[in-house]
Amino acid sequence: MADKKEKIYRVKCKAYDSEGRGIVHFNGSNIPVEGLIIGEMAHIALKHTNEGTIGILKDVEIPSKDRVRPVCPYYDRCGGCQLMFMKYNAQLDMKQQIVEGLIGNFCKVEPVLGMEIPENFRTKVHATFSKGKNGRVIAGTYEPKSHRVIDINNCCIQDQKANDIVVSIKKLMQSERIEPYDEDRGRGILRHVLIRTGFKTGQVMVVLVVGSGYFPGKKNFVHALTRKHREITTVVINENSRKTSMILGEKEEVVYGPGYIEDELCGIRFRISPKSFYQVNPAQTEVLYQLAIKLAQLDKKQTVLDAYCGIGTISLICADSVREVIGVELNSDAVKNARSNAKINHKENVRFYCEDAGNFMKKREADGEDAPDVVFTDPPRSGCSKEFLKALAKAAPKRIVYISCNPVTLQRDLQWLTKHGYKAVTAVPVDMFGMSKHVETVVLLQRKDM
């Protein structure tokens, strides 16, 4: 029930914070409010949280011309597409402003590279199975902070083929009487489905995650599914009986096709198995990598270090342009993938190491190895470690191309690097995740003494 005494304030949205929330000035302080667009007049209530006071949007009195009604019927419950209430161009403006606000002091921020069509771009799709009120099988994502599954028949940011396959699996479960797995009771059969589609190749992998080794009628089920969807090139059954938010368990059985799909990025072929890390928006990933490689100004005499290299994407794409590439990555599965990707693509001047990026750099220095000429660094959201940054400044490559998925840690790391011999030359935001508040940024840094 609404609190009758709740005080409501009339405010105007002036800016965005680093998380894409609107900022309003109130009693001399800046208060973040989710769901506002710059220029809008709105009514808010105040809420005190651990993070400080925030505003809760009650209604928008004067909406921006950029406000739209979210096209998705699940928008209110799902929480995956925080920015769907804005036109796409306004989303891009917001991301531009976030990046400019955080790193505009270091260098000029070029206009954000947006997606051509911000729809159906996610090539990795996951749905959890459950039972609806009427006993029918439902599939989709969890409501935020809950264990209730939302029954989603069509997600407008996901690959359309994958959406259709999820719906077919639901129908098949119904007709074949395959029960969704009940995590609390440890009963039932199918727990999740993970679908990955090849952007260039069109290959499709379906991973059916079961709660135990028991899957009656498995053969018929897979046969019916692959007959209905001829585009499916491989099906893997994965077993995950643990109470965990992880989707995949350890055990895997390939029941159809080769057990992996292949895809192509910037002319390089990548083999993707169920557990491989692979960017979820390949069209924009090509834009991102091409930009990063252009900024690096590579030539045949150079040694390149690709730090936080994942499955070796950047390393392999730039291999032919340089003398040698060294990739370093902490996750051993990713390193295995990287090595086999090097083989598939016949790249012999690339070596991958499984190690913490900072330790690796320190060791190389201690061993008296030559310093790289150019370094790509593409760390997780937490940014580069201090050890890595220190070792990087010591190695003193001519250029550093920093690819960041979190402008807040990017700002912190630029602060450090610009005090230790580097200047930021240019920055370009790239939109990898339309409808969400996340933004990717590429920054070129150069040694000051050059």
Q: Which residues are catalytic?
A: 405
Contact assessment for residue 323 and residue 393, using Cβ atoms and an 8 Å cutoff: no
**334 in contact with ligand SAH (CB under 6 A):** yes
Q: Using CA atoms, how far apart are residues 91 and 57, in angstroms rounded to an integer? A: 19
CB of 293 to ligand SAH, least distance (A): 12
| CA–CA separation, 135 and 129 (whole Å) | 12
Q: Is 313 in the site for ligand SAH (CB under 6 A)?
A: yes
Q: How far is the CB of 274 from ligand SAH (least distance, A)?
A: 16
- Identify the three-state secondary structure at position 251: strand
Beta strand pairing call for 422-430 and 440-447:
antiparallel
92-121 residues near ligand SAH, rule: CB under 6 A: none
Does the footprint of ligand SAH cover residue 413 (CB under 6 A)? no
| Total binding residues toward ligand SAH, as defined by CB under 6 A | 17
Q: Which residue is associated with the tokens 């969890």? A: 142
Looking up tokens 């940011």, which residue turns up?
157
Closer residue to ligand SAH (CB): 379 or 434: 379
Nearer to ligand SAH, 140 or 379 (CB): 379
Of the chain, the end-to-end C-alpha distance in Å amounts to: 65
Region of 153-161, 172-180, 263-271, 303-311 interacting with ligand SAH (CB under 6 A): 303-311
Binding window for ligand SAH (CB under 6 A); candidates: 84-92, 157-165, 293-301, 304-312: 304-312
Task: Please answer whether residues 47 and 38 qualify as being in contact, where contact means their C-beta atoms are separated by less than 8 angstroms.
Answer: no
Among 44, 190, 209, 314, binds ligand SAH (CB under 6 A): 314
Interface map 251-290 toward ligand SAH (x if CB under 6 A): --------------------------x-x-----------
**Cα separation values, 87 from 15, 32, 101, 123, 435, Å:** 17, 21, 21, 23, 9
Q: Cα separation of 212 and 191, whole Å?
A: 9
Residue 355: CB minimum distance to ligand SAH, A: 7
Q: Which stretch binds ligand SAH (CB under 6 A): 79-87, 264-272, 308-316, 362-370?
A: 308-316
Residue 331 near ligand SAH by CB under 6 A: yes
Tokens 């159809």 belong to 256
Measured from the CB atom, is 128 or 313 closer to ligand SAH? 313
Q: Which residues pair with 338 in a beta bridge?
A: none
Minimum distance from residue 168 beta carbon to ligand SAH (Å): 30
Asked if 329 is part of the footprint of ligand SAH (rule: CB under 6 A), the reply reads yes
Cα-based angle 378, 384, 386 (whole degrees, multiple of 5): 160
Exactly one of 254, 330, 396, 408 binds ligand SAH (CB under 6 A); that residue is 330
Q: How distant, in Å, are the alpha carbons of 237, 260, 289, 406 from that of 190? A: 10, 21, 37, 35
Among 152, 156, 309, 395, binds ligand SAH (CB under 6 A): 309
Contacting residue, 186, 380, 415, 448, with ligand SAH by CB under 6 A: 380
Read off the tokens for 11: 């405010």
Residue 123 gets the label, from left (phi > 0), alpha (psi -120 to 50) or beta, of alpha
* 106, 308, 352, 433: residue in contact with ligand SAH (rule CB under 6 A): 308
Residue nearest to ligand SAH (CB): 310
Report whether 427 contacts 99 (CB < 8 A).
yes
- Binding residues for ligand SAH, rule: CB under 6 A, are 277, 279, 308-310, 313-314, 328-331, 334, 356-357, 378-380
